[in-house]
Amino acid sequence: MASPPSTEIRAGATPPEEIKAVPVRHPWRWVSVAVLAVLVAMLVNGVVNNPAYRWDTVGKYLFDQRLARAALVTIELTVLAMVLGVALGVLLAVMRLSSNPILSSAAWIYLWVFRGTPVYTQLVFWGLISVLYPTISIGIPFGPEFASFETTKVITFFVAAVIGLALNEAAYMAEIVRAGILSVSEGQTEAASALGMRRPQVMRRIVLPQAMRVVIPPTGNELISMLKTTSLVVAVPLTIDLYSRSREISLALFQPVPLLICAAIWYLAITSVLMVGQYYLERHFARGSQRQLPPTPLQRLRRRVLGAPRGDRIAEGGGAVAVGDRDGAIGGRTAGSDGQ
């Protein structure tokens, strides 16, 4: 059998003459670019040269220690609330999909309550928990107790804020995870079951890892959203986060605008870092989904500056280019070693 025809140009043959036609012109595109440029210039001018923004104050307080420390608190709240929220959300999603009617109903009720009430209200509630339950005791329900704690000592305002945010987030995460689980084709569960795997193992090793691809983009969304939702912890009341602190300073200075901008810049900076993190996390879980993943912006930059690495025949900016017989894998790197 002859080898399949090569798609590369044979050496020595003259290439066919390239068509040189006059391209379609788009005059109105240039007009719209000009209009946009003028609007942007007006906007920038209205912001930068406007004394009401008090850019001098912005510059003065942008790296103020109080704001920096408050930003750290905001990040702490975000991370803790998300970690707990995602963990509980996964559990709730699995419960929702369980064949056990008690588990799935319990999960449904949780979702109903925690999505049905405003997060601000929930935070107020958790802030008042030590009023509702002055002591927490561990023991037999309706029976003797073994240990007891004063609620205010255990559940500080910070802890209450984290609990409030996490429990609320778990309800939303549960639906995201459930969608991810449903997105994994049934054939995967069948194949795993046919190999003798039991349901927990099928879920942990086969379904959930594949569900992650669908779960991560909306979860990244939730994380970025949580960063701003933390500003609601003023309900607890917790006032050491970025929003409350910047408001404090702005009230002391009698200047509402510049500290708002400072806080906005901090939130934007942290969000940008989170977006980069999400990009790389998505790539990790996309391994195996395409023949070759497109290059990251960093890899593209390296290529442009240093030239393409040897042995790499992948086109830039898109998917893989398969040259040669279809039965071969892509030339260049082979993926990893043993599967884990």
Binding site residues, other proteins, CB under 8 A: 185, 187-188, 190-199, 201, 205-206, 209-210, 285, 287-291, 326-327, 329-330, 334-340
Q: Which two tokens stand for residue 93?
A: 């999603």
CB of 202 to other proteins, least distance (A): 10
**With respect to other proteins, which residue has the nearer C-beta, 45 or 290?**
290
Chain centroid to Cα 230, Å, comes to 15
CB of 89 to other proteins, least distance (A): 21
Q: Are 93 and 174 within 8 A, CB to CB? A: yes
Q: Which two tokens stand for residue 17?
A: 């003459």
Q: Are 66 and 249 within 8 A, CB to CB? A: yes
Q: Which two tokens stand for residue 296?
A: 């990251």
**With respect to other proteins, which residue has the nearer C-beta, 51 or 336?**
336
Task: Report d(CA 184, CA 173) in Å as an integer.
Answer: 17
Q: Are 266 and 242 within 8 A, CB to CB? A: yes
Burial of 4 (0-12, 13-18, 19+ CB in 10 A): exposed
**With respect to other proteins, which residue has the nearer C-beta, 18 or 327?**
327
Task: Report d(CA 316, CA 138) in Å as an integer.
Answer: 61
Task: Report d(CA 191, CA 171) in Å as an integer.
Answer: 31
**With respect to other proteins, which residue has the nearer C-beta, 17 or 338?**
338
CB of 199 to other proteins, least distance (A): 6
CB of 107 to other proteins, least distance (A): 20
CB of 196 to other proteins, least distance (A): 4
**With respect to other proteins, which residue has the nearer C-beta, 139 or 209?**
209
Task: Report d(CA 38, CA 45) in Å as an integer.
Answer: 10
The number of residues in the chain equals 340
**With respect to other proteins, which residue has the nearer C-beta, 201 or 239?**
201
CB of 76 to other proteins, least distance (A): 32
Task: Report d(CA 37, CA 44) in Å as an integer.
Answer: 10
Task: Report d(CA 289, CA 281) in Å as an integer.
Answer: 14
**With respect to other proteins, which residue has the nearer C-beta, 40 or 335?**
335
Task: Report d(CA 75, CA 267) in Å as an integer.
Answer: 10
How many helices (H) and strands (E) would you count in the chain? 14, 2
**With respect to other proteins, which residue has the nearer C-beta, 290 or 299?**
290
CB of 324 to other proteins, least distance (A): 13
CB of 91 to other proteins, least distance (A): 20
